[in-house]
Structure 1
């Protein structure tokens, strides 16, 4: 039986014997194993070949894999070789490879460093690595001529812990100039606004104010979107009633970035983006606004009712475009008109208040009773567009008055300030 065929289809004894024979040649065994790994029609599972290279003959395989990775041109081969190369765990050699002329090698070396050295999610630092040397080697690659390498290095630096803060601050203060902008982004991603110097925070505030001069609306689609809609443009009054504080000017782009950050990886209730007046309405965007979130529903019911007492009407909506369902809450003159949740959950009925809206009834008739359960989870944007303003429909032609801002919510007073990161402005 052919050794690769035995490795793919043999019994336990035959596979083990094939592994021994395939790797017995040491360095001379690497090339046949790589050829088989790159053969998309091979009967052997790629992970089996990767294991032989990484666990059985790593001391012979590293240089051969690096050479093959540098020479390959097709994407599938590059992907397979990169997966092997970044799994050796040899940080010292990865540091050497960061200066390799092939971008594919530099990118894979950076990913190998990420895998071996990241302290994210509570992982302990690698005791065999001098993180100061590693960080000093990575920082110049923030302006690597290959954008994928530069992006990977940026991600890696955010995962190496607080030891990266001071070297990045030195770059901000002393240069070189080409590294100052990416260093600022990494600082923000690594430690949030608190990681920036007072001068940098002031510079960011100035940039936001400059951008606001010609800021134009854009769709505020953040996958899991929750918002409150209030007629008119009384931002100050809305913020006061909602208990918002520490308001800071924000462009539509910044509001979108904050909303996206706060809506993923667990809902962040401590912050919202308040739009300027858009087509006659003010929108408050953030998970804190969800009318049908199990933790927030009753509080949102209260504040939307109070808003409607002051402004005549107020709405709240939720929409999860990746199958997350819909929710809507309509209040007028201090009275709840309707609350509904459509998420395919047996808990949906518990959120029902009031009679279906005329728009709901029309949608029900259009979809039919049998299809309603699958139609309702996608209804929130349509209702918002019909009854108020949908954040998904904002664009250059939207009528705007004033400027938006980001603010903290009462939740942040009790549970701490939300984490922040590097956001587009």
Structure 2
């Protein structure tokens, strides 16, 4: 009965009452699990399921088996998802429940156990043998998370991974190579390096360009002389790669943990073959990477484009973020910046012809004052429907982004496909930071 009262207190509008109930339920431990699981499965719930799931995760081991049952058996997707979240983030001083779950017959449970051990990092070392066996799991999702968990063990897992690479079992060898790449690519055996180089050469012969999802900055230079581009940007140690691998490296570095990677975040760039006479460079040259505040970054971008355009006749910089509306472009010719535009940032130069027919980011169309009258701002569907109707009735232009400007001024990587004509080879090259600090570890798709 007391548990039921505490559950009701969790739904209270009084934050002090909520907090007291949470603390009491966590102190109760195993005794509180049945009531919390019942509330998690209740439809509709009285308490936000994320709150219930977080409390079960804090209680830890006593909630482990009940949560696995909910995750694998409950009919409501949101309930299963919350149970999965709670299993992944349990506060366990003793990791035995995760270790035992690695052999569970349901692959979803094995996956959550691997995720939990990955979060534990080096604390999971006593269970390394079981994790290594999971590298050969028949389920692809389990294998992927087992690789991540083994990678999180760090350098202490390297000897065992090298033994798997050398002597098997064969079903684990590819996953072991992936884990080694995530821990320290330098430890990969020369034989494996040679095999990867051969694979890259073979795939590059028949590879078709694919659309890229831009997130970060890239340069476009009107030249097919890749060596000149590398020299102008102080890039070295160029290694041939597939387009897919180069794209994966760019995406990986853009989303790596800045706190742990430091200068390795901008240690390499992806340089494409010539695309309709333009060479594209994805990543941050050192001059931009070391400009940390917005003002100095925009100045560095303009200076870089001006310098490169004096060498190649023109130089364009573009940038987009996959998580918000940030976008930027800088267009320079013969040593002079013609246009610089950054959403919510600096701008210089007159409107460029490539921007004609578009709204600029942040620019509002001229609409009647009552254009959105009667539309609930909290209803995104209704809001989008009204916006689409207004755009059609008032011929409102689309808002442009860097890819739109790139399409009009050089080459748009988001539209790459079998129709895209490329000549030459793709390479990954090191920046000055790459030469000094090495590159970010991680396996990349070939």
Q: Give the TM-score band, short-chain normalised.
A: 0.7 to 0.9
TM-score under structure 1 length normalisation: 0.80
Q: Following superposition, which runs of at least 4 residues in structure 1 exceed 6 angstroms of deviation?
A: 10-27, 289-293, 366-369
2:206 counterpart (185, 208, 214) = 214
Asked whether the 8 Å contact 2:4–2:35 carries over to 1, the reply is: no
Asked whether the 8 Å contact 2:115–2:145 carries over to 1, the reply is: yes
Cα distance in 2 for residues equivalent to 1:270 and 1:93: 40
Structure 1: stretches of 5+ with no match in the other structure: 119-124
Residue number in structure 1 paired with 2:100: 96
2:136 counterpart (143, 165, 172) = 143
CA deviation after TM superposition for structure 1 residue 3, in Å: 5.2
Report the secondary structure of 2:445's partner residue. Answer: coil
1:260 and 2:251 are equivalent in the alignment: yes
Asked whether the 8 Å contact 2:272–2:281 carries over to 1, the reply is: yes
1:201 counterpart (176, 179, 193) = 193
1:278 counterpart (275, 296, 309) = 275
Asked whether the 8 Å contact 1:8–1:15 carries over to 2, the reply is: no
Cα distance in 1 for residues equivalent to 2:405 and 2:19: 61
Inter-CA distance 59–213: structure 2 relative to 1 (3 Å threshold): closer
Residue number in structure 2 paired with 1:230: 221
Deviations 1:180-236 (A, max 9, x none): 111111111122x21312222222111111111112222232322x22212231111
Matches within 5 A, 1:147-166: 147-166=140-159
Inter-CA distance 149–284: structure 2 relative to 1 (3 Å threshold): same
Inter-CA distance 337–33: structure 2 relative to 1 (3 Å threshold): closer
Deviations 1:39-82 (A, max 9, x none): 132324546655776667x6755444445555445533433333
Cα distance in 1 for residues equivalent to 2:240 and 2:210: 16
Asked whether the 8 Å contact 2:248–2:444 carries over to 1, the reply is: yes
Inter-CA distance 221–36: structure 2 relative to 1 (3 Å threshold): closer
Cα distance in 2 for residues equivalent to 1:24 and 1:253: 52
Report the secondary structure of 1:160's partner residue. Answer: helix
CA deviation after TM superposition for structure 1 residue 271, in Å: 1.5
What number of residue pairs does the alignment pair up? 401
1:190 and 2:183 are equivalent in the alignment: yes
Residue number in structure 1 paired with 2:374: none
Cα distance in 2 for residues equivalent to 1:6 and 1:102: 33
Residue number in structure 1 paired with 2:380: none
Matches within 5 A, 1:163-178: 163-178=156-171
Inter-CA distance 173–7: structure 2 relative to 1 (3 Å threshold): same
Inter-CA distance 187–257: structure 2 relative to 1 (3 Å threshold): same
Residue number in structure 2 paired with 1:76: 78
Asked whether the 8 Å contact 2:361–2:401 carries over to 1, the reply is: no
Asked whether the 8 Å contact 2:343–2:362 carries over to 1, the reply is: no
Asked whether the 8 Å contact 2:6–2:25 carries over to 1, the reply is: no
1:420 and 2:441 are equivalent in the alignment: yes
Deviations 1:96-130 (A, max 9, x none): 22112122322222233233x22xxxxxx43xx6x
Cα distance in 2 for residues equivalent to 1:159 and 1:44: 34
Report the secondary structure of 1:186's partner residue. Answer: helix
1:251 and 2:216 are equivalent in the alignment: no
Residue number in structure 2 paired with 1:344: 344
Deviations 1:314-354 (A, max 9, x none): 2222223543433222232x331413122213xx14xx2x4
Residue number in structure 1 paired with 2:422: 400
TM-score under structure 2 length normalisation: 0.77
1:385 counterpart (377, 400, 407) = 407
Asked whether the 8 Å contact 1:315–1:328 carries over to 2, the reply is: yes
Inter-CA distance 194–17: structure 2 relative to 1 (3 Å threshold): closer
Residue number in structure 1 paired with 2:351: 356
Inter-CA distance 49–423: structure 2 relative to 1 (3 Å threshold): closer
Report the secondary structure of 2:210's partner residue. Answer: coil
Inter-CA distance 33–286: structure 2 relative to 1 (3 Å threshold): closer
Residue number in structure 2 paired with 1:36: 39
Asked whether the 8 Å contact 1:7–1:15 carries over to 2, the reply is: no
Residue number in structure 2 paired with 1:121: none
Cα distance in 2 for residues equivalent to 1:370 and 1:71: 50
Structure 2: stretches of 5+ with no match in the other structure: 367-396
Single out whichever of 8-17 and 90-99 deviates more from structure 2.
8-17
Asked whether the 8 Å contact 2:269–2:428 carries over to 1, the reply is: yes
CA deviation after TM superposition for structure 1 residue 138, in Å: 0.3
Asked whether the 8 Å contact 1:78–1:104 carries over to 2, the reply is: no
Cα distance in 1 for residues equivalent to 2:55 and 2:316: 60
Cα distance in 1 for residues equivalent to 2:76 and 2:42: 12
